[in-house]
A and B are shown apart, each in its own frame.
Chain A
Amino acid sequence: MAESVGELPVGESRTFHRLPFHDFDAFARLDADAVMVRRLRRAERSRRKLLLLALMEESAKRPELFGPLPPLDAAWELLARVEHKSAKSLDRLLAHPYIGSWAGYTTRLLRDRIDGVCPLWMHLGHVHALAAAAAIRSGIDFEIEVPVWDGHAALPSLGIARLTPPAVFSTAVVRGEAGRYTVVNENGEVRLPAELGEDTAGWQAVRRLRTRVGRYRFSVRLDDVDPYRGLYEPMTPRRLPAAEVRQWQRLVNEACRLIVAYAPDLAETMPIGLGSLVPAPQVRYRNPSASTSEAFGSALVGRPVDGVTLGASLVHEFQHIVLGGVLHLTRLHDEDSRERIYVPWRDDPRPLSGAVQGLYAFAGVTKYWRSLVGAGDTAVARRAAFEFAHWRRQTWHVLTALRTDAALTDDGRRFLDGLAGRLGPWQAEPVPADVAELAAAIGADHRAGWRIRYLRPSGADVATLAAAWLAGDPRPPVSATAAELSPTPVPDGSWSSARTDLIRIRLSEPDATVWPAVAGATDADVAYAAGRHQVAAEEYRTELATDPDRPASLSGLGLALAAQGPGAAARALLYRPELVRAVHRELRRRTDQVPTAERLAAWIGQLVSG
C-alpha cells in the first residue's frame, strides 16, 4: 500500500465512520440527541469530500469537458489557497446542502458523458463557483471564471449575481481583492455588497429567516436562488416577493415557538439536520414537501397556512434527512424495487425503501402531534389529537406489515423493532372519542379507496361469486373471498381526497355552515363530513346509480353506513370493496337483473371481518 501524502491517516490509524448501536437505537426510537445528528452531518461531509474528489479526478482526465472555462487546476489551486487560509471555510461550504445535490447530479452526468439541464461543462464548472464562494468566505484575494446560466452566476450558499448574458450558457469572472468582490462579464459588472446577506443591484442573496425563542436562536436559509436546490434537476432562480418572505418569517416564528414549547428535543436536533428551506407554492388543503438524501440539510416546502402545519412538515422532512444519513452508513433492507406495499400517506403502492422512509417520517410526525395534544390553544390541541390518533394508527399498521418483510437486513429488523418500542405504547393513549372516530374513518376511507383501485380479485373467484349470487345462494362461497392479493401497477378508477379534506375542515371549524370549495367534493361528501350520515348514504346511492364503479362513492357509502352502525354491507365496502366492484361488474355483464352494490356488499360482507 502506498504511503499517503497529506494528512490522511495511514496504516492502522485509518478510520471509517461508525454508527454505535447506542446511536442507531436512539434514531430508531426517535430519541436521537444533537450530538448524534451532528455525527450524521459529519459523515455527510466525508461523503461529499469523496464525491467531489471523484468528480475532480475523473473530469481532470478530460480538460475539454470544461468547455470555455479554465482547466480544473484553477479550482484545485484556489481551493488549496482557501484551505491554507481557513480550512473551516471550505468545510462549511461542503456542508451546504446543494453541494451534495450538485455533486450527485453531476456524478451521474459525468458517468454517462451526457449533458443535463445545462451542457455538461456548466455542471462540471460549478466546482469553479464552489471555489469562488469558498474564497469569498475565507477572505482571500482571487480571480476565477465561473459558469453563468441565463444571466445568473451562482455562488453557492451566498447568492447569485445577475448579468446581461451573451448567451444562455456563458461565463463570468469572479474577483476578490481586499474584501471587495465583483462578478464581471463582457456586458457588465456586479459589485457584491459588503454585507453579502443583503440584496443590491444585480445581487440576490440567499435569505435567512432568524427567530429567537427563549434561549434558542434559529436561523434557516430560505433559498430560492441556488441552481441545485431542486429535487431532480437544476433550476433557475425564482425570487420570492418580499411579502411572501415576510409570510415565511411569520410561519417560521410560529413553528419555532410551538416546537420550543411542546417539543423541545426537536429544538435541539432539528436545526442541525435542517438548515435550508426551498420555498414552493402553496397548495390548498395540502402540505407538499420533499427532500433528497443528496441534499442533507434541506427540504422543499410548500408554503403552509400556519405554523402548526409548517412544524409538521419540518419534522417530516427532518426525519427523512436523518434516515437518509443513517442509510449512508448502513443498509436496512435489500434492494427491492417492486411497488407492492400499501401505505396510508400515498395513493399508490410503494417499494420497501419508500415505505420505510415514509414510515419513519410519519412516525416523527406522530410524535410531533402527540406533543401538541397538550397545547394551551384548544383548537390546536383538538387538531393535534386528531392527527395523533390518525398517524399513530396508520404508522402502526405499516410497521406491523414491514417488520416481517423478508427483504429486511438484521439492522433493518433492529431499527423497526426500536421504532415499534416507541409507537406501540402510544396506541392505547386516550384521545377524545369523536376525534378517534373521525381519525379511524379517514384511515378506513384511504385503505378502501386504495384497495378498489389497486387490487384485482382473480377472474375465477369473481366468476364463482357471480354464479353463486345468480343461483340465489344465501351466502357466498368461503373459498372465493379469502384470497390475499398483490397490487397491480395501474390504478382502476380515479382518486379523491375531498372527503378527508372536508373532515379536516370540519375539525377546525365544527360549527361551519358554509363549506369552502374543495376540489372533487360531492354533495354526499359534504353531508358525510357534516355528520349527516343518512343523507350521505342516500347521496352515495344516487352517485352509484349513475356510476357504479366510482371508487369514492363505494367507499363513501361504506363509511356512511358504518357511521350508522355495524353491518355486512359496510364491512364489505370498506374491507373488500375491490371484490364488491368486481362481482358487480361481472353481474352487469351477465344479467339485466343487477342488484345494487349495497345489496351485493351485504351478501359478500357475511364473510368479511372488519
Chain B
Amino acid sequence: MNSSGTEPGIESELIDLEAVPFTALRDVDDDDLRRSLRHVVERASNVRARYRSGNVSGGERID
C-alpha cells in the first residue's frame, strides 16, 4: 500500500507520512502535501451521521 510497489493498483490522494516526524511538517511548504491535506480535511468535513439508527436493533456506522 505504499508507493514503492510497481504492481497495478489504486493510487490514493493520501500522501505517505509514515517516515516523516509529525512536527517536521510544521515547516513544510509543499504542493503535494497541501493537496493531500485539503483532501483529508474535505473528507472529514463531509462526515455525518448518515447511518444513525432509529432503534437499537442493529448496527450503526458513520463514514
Contact = CB atoms under 8 A, between A and B. Distances in A.
Interface of A: 1-2, 4-10, 14-24, 36, 39-40, 42-43, 45-47, 49-54, 56, 76, 79-80, 83, 87, 90, 94, 103-104, 107-108, 111, 231-232, 283, 286, 288-294, 316-317, 320, 324, 327-330, 337, 345-348, 350-351, 353-354, 357-358, 361, 411, 495, 497
B56 to A, nearest CB: 5
B6 to A, nearest CB: 9
Interface in B49-63: 49-63
Nearest to A337: B50
A291 B13 contact: no
Contact of B29 (A4, A14, A76): A4
A255 B6 CA distance: 39
A1 B14 CA distance: 19
Given A79-B22, A107-B45, A50 B1 contact: no
A11 to B, nearest CB: 10
Given A5-B24, A19-B10, A50 B18 contact: no
Nearest to B18: A42
Name the residue in A6, A56, A83, A324 with the highest tally of chain B Cβ atoms < 10 Å from its Cβ.
A6
Interface string B4-21: 110111111111111111
Contacts of B63: 292-293, 324, 327, 353, 357
B35 to A, nearest CB: 10
Contacts of B40: 47, 50-51, 54
A89 B33 CA distance: 23
A259 B32 CA distance: 42
Q: Which 7 A-B pairs have the closest CB atoms?
A: A6-B24, A39-B1, A15-B3, A20-B9, A290-B60, A329-B12, A5-B27
Contacts of A361: 59, 61
B22 A1 contact: no
Question: In which size bucket is the chain B interface?
Answer: 35 or more
A104 B40 CA distance: 10
A306 to B, nearest CB: 18
Name the residue in A5, A16, A328, A351 with the highest tally of chain B Cβ atoms < 10 Å from its Cβ.
A16
Contact of A411 (B2, B5, B10, B20): B10
Nearest to A232: B49
Given A104-B47, A232-B62, A329-B1, 20 more contacts: A6-B21, A6-B24, A6-B27, A9-B19, A15-B2, A15-B16, A17-B15, A18-B2, A19-B10, A20-B5, A50-B17, A83-B21, A104-B44, A231-B62, A286-B57, A290-B59, A290-B61, A324-B63, A350-B51, A354-B51
7 contacts: A7-B19, A8-B24, A8-B28, A50-B40, A232-B49, A291-B62, A293-B62
Contact of A328 (B2, B14, B31, B50): B14
A279 B5 CA distance: 40
Contacts of A47: 14, 40
Nearest to A348: B54
A80 B50 CA distance: 38
B44 A288 contact: no
A329 B61 contact: no
Contact of A16 (B16, B54, B58, B59): B16
Given A1-B30, A90-B22, A316-B59, A18 B54 contact: no
Contact of A1 (B13, B31, B59): B31
Contacts of B31: 1
Contact of A329 (B14, B19, B25): B14
Contact of B7 (A16, A20, A111, A337): A20
